[in-house]
Structure 1
Amino acid sequence: MTDSERSATGVPTLTQTNYDKWKPLMLAFLAMKGLRWTIDNTHTKPVPAIASVPTAVERREQRDWDSDRQKAAGLLYLSVHEDIRVDIETDHNNYDPVAMWTTLATRGAQAKPADRFSALGNIVSLQQESDESLLAYHARCKNAVAEWVALLPASYTIENLKAELACWCTLRGLADEYSAFSSNVVNGLDISGKTLDMDALRSAFNNEHSLRQNR
């Protein structure tokens, strides 16, 4: 793994396709820092026995609690790709690692065609590096395939695979001028919950063709 693939924490950066691999490593990292508790809300904020007159010990406990949450929020933010940070920006600014972790977990459990397309793109773009051994290259390819497989729902069938491969190949072959259109098609179907197949793609192509003719 290259340095560019690691986050500032040293844990591999969370991307659209590697949540299942990232999660246990991030949990281990937070545990090593003594911050695992900050994401599961097991420790509530210390409350002074007399709210208006906290003791020195109680004030220190409150500062430590706030400080640990701020540290955890910062580490989580630094551990994810910039494309994902927008989803946790507000909670990061509020120093709420519990909400950040929940959001990232929800994203990881909701793999969409766009995520699988990204993983497929990673697979077909693999090239052996000049100083890379055959075994190292094989391991990298195996990991890339595992990331794609991890995004397949339990209900995923060979028919789903055939439909997505057909659409992926079709969209991948579009000219550069259609790159925004391609992203909008896949993301739009993700949001609407519609099935991604060649019929849906044909409808999207028809709409785009009509729009371009009327410009």
Structure 2
Amino acid sequence: MSENTTIRFALLTDTNYASWEPEMLSFLQTRRLVKYTTKAQSTPPSDTAKLEDWTDGCQAAAGWIFQALSPSVRPLVVSEMRAGKPYSMWVKLEQRGLKKISGHRFNALEAQLNLRLEIGERLLQYYDRVVAASERRKQLREATYSVTQFDDELDAFTILRGLPEEFGHFATAI
């Protein structure tokens, strides 16, 4: 049985990190390479007998990640790919794709609140879309994000969302 050597999901672009990331993780998991995207596996093992396997795994993971990037994203991590540093690649891509700022959280919250049960859609399918939107929103929070910060942002989001159309330029600038 030959191994599938083709990426069969959308390449990472400037706008699709939230949908690309779970696809890439799954792809690496099927090849037993996802561990190389973690901090725990970011440094070589002290056991020299395991070093070659670790190096091969890092090179493979870095290569697959690079193959899953659109040409516009590749320059960001080309040096890490050449060095076989998939963890560094993963961190840079996450930082770029998940800018944890209030404007992005507002967009994610608005997208989640705008979800509606589609005609002909089963309730379980709708639930899955709500959960996926919730996960995207949660990914945009800093580790130290508090309920107080959420309350403050929700107040600001409510004000922005309720402004008339003539304030559209103001709302989008924030």
Question: Do Structure 1 and Structure 2 share a fold, with TM-score over 0.5?
Answer: yes
Identify the residue that residue 91 of structure 1 maps to in structure 2.
76
Q: Are the aligned partners of 2:108 and 2:137 in contact in 1 as well (CA < 8 Å)? A: yes
* 2:115 maps to which of 99, 123, 126: 126
| Residue identity matched to 1:167 | A
Cα 1:180–1:66 shift into 2, 3 Å: farther
Give me the TM-score of the superposition, normalised by structure 2: 0.57
Q: Name the SS of the counterpart of 1:132 in structure 2.
A: coil
Q: Percent identity?
A: 25
Aligned match of 2:51: none
2: CA distance between counterparts of 1:67 and 1:156? 35
Equivalences, count: 143
Q: Relative to structure 1, is the Cα distance of residues 135 and 70 closer, same or farther in structure 2, using a 3 angstrom cutoff? A: closer
Q: Which residue of 1 aligns with 2:26?
A: 28
How many angstroms does 1:151 deviate by?
3.3
Aligned to 1:73: 66
Q: 1:92 to 1:149 in 2, by over 3 A?
A: closer
1:8 to 10, 14, 19: 10
Larger Rg over CA atoms = 1
Change (3 A) 1:180 1:27: same
Q: Report what 1:151 is aligned to.
A: 140
> 5+ unaligned residues in a row in structure 2: which ranges?
1-7, 45-57
- What is the aligned-residue RMSD (CA, Å)? 4.0
The reply to whether residue 112 of structure 1 matches residue 110 of structure 2 is no
CA deviations over 1:16-39 (Å, ceiling 9, x no partner) = xx78xx35x423313435765886
Equivalent residue number for residue 131 of structure 2:
142
Q: TM-score normalized by structure 1?
A: 0.48
C-alpha distance in 1 between matches for 2:135 and 2:62: 33
Give the letter for the 1:172 counterpart: R
Shift of 1:101: 2.0
